[in-house]
Homo-oligomer: A and B are copies of this chain.
Amino acid sequence: MCRVTVGTQKGGAMSGLRDERTRQSRELILSAAAELFAEQGYQQTSLVDVADRSGVSRGSIPWHFGDKQGLLTAVVERVYEEASSSRDAAPLRPGPEGAFDIVHMATRVVRNQTARLTLALLIEAGKPDSPIHDSFVKLHDNFRAHVSEWARRPEIASRLPEGISPDAVAVMVFGTVIGVNQQWNLSPDRVDLTEAYEVLTRMLLSLIGEREMAPVPR
């Protein structure tokens, strides 16, 4: 976005090398910023911190991302892309087996560093005038759409209790993922993640009348 063409044309090989270096610097800055935002929040992190952690000079950060706000937006966009691609890599199985896939996906999301980052940024995003508000709304919509798509299939929707919509199931499942993660983040010694997600699976299955179903791993 802030990138401009500088210097003279040196031909294909040289400009390819320059592009590769630019891409690498960009990645180093993004990874360092994601780590720092996760560890200490957005407010507390300075561009000097990001430069120190990434090994890229402080002066080059604006060239890649504009200001700190631009960097934040780029970090959130990367989270969004990663979440979308891991989603597509593992489509949910139709039918009750999909409940195991949903919980498997949730467990993977929770255990990686992204979960801590999104948690740290969620408060920031909650303010309607926040620069990342819209990206976060999109991120949440995306997760919910994935679950409600599954719950909307006839073989599931027809088994939901009366008055329970696929969208409400999605809000509830995604809520569990957020909330269980936060309890675990606060006091890991008091929350058994594996067991909590086992309850989510059992609840989802019970809701559609599959109370006794044995696990069906992929």
Which of A's residues lie within 8 Å of B, judged by CB? Answer: 41, 43-44, 119-120, 122-123, 125-126, 133, 136-137, 140-141, 144, 161, 163-165, 167-169, 171-172, 174-183, 185-187, 190-192, 195-196, 198-200, 202-204, 206-207, 209, 211-212
Q: What CA separation (Å) do A41 and B191 show in the bound complex?
A: 26
Residues of B within 8 A of A196 (CB): 168, 171-172, 175
Instruction: Determine the main DSSP class of A at the interface with B.
Output: helix
> Which of B165, B192, B207 sits near A168, CB closer than 8 Å?
B192
Contact A180–B186 (Cβ < 8 Å): no
Q: How many copies of this chain are found per oligomer? A: 2
Return A4 CB to nearest CB of chain B, in Å.
Answer: 35
Residues of B within 8 A of A183 (CB): 140, 144, 171, 174-175, 178
5 pairs of A and B residues whose beta carbons are closest in the complex: A175-B179, A178-B179, A179-B179, A206-B206, A175-B180
In the complex, residue of chain B having the shortest beta-carbon distance to the beta carbon of A177: B179
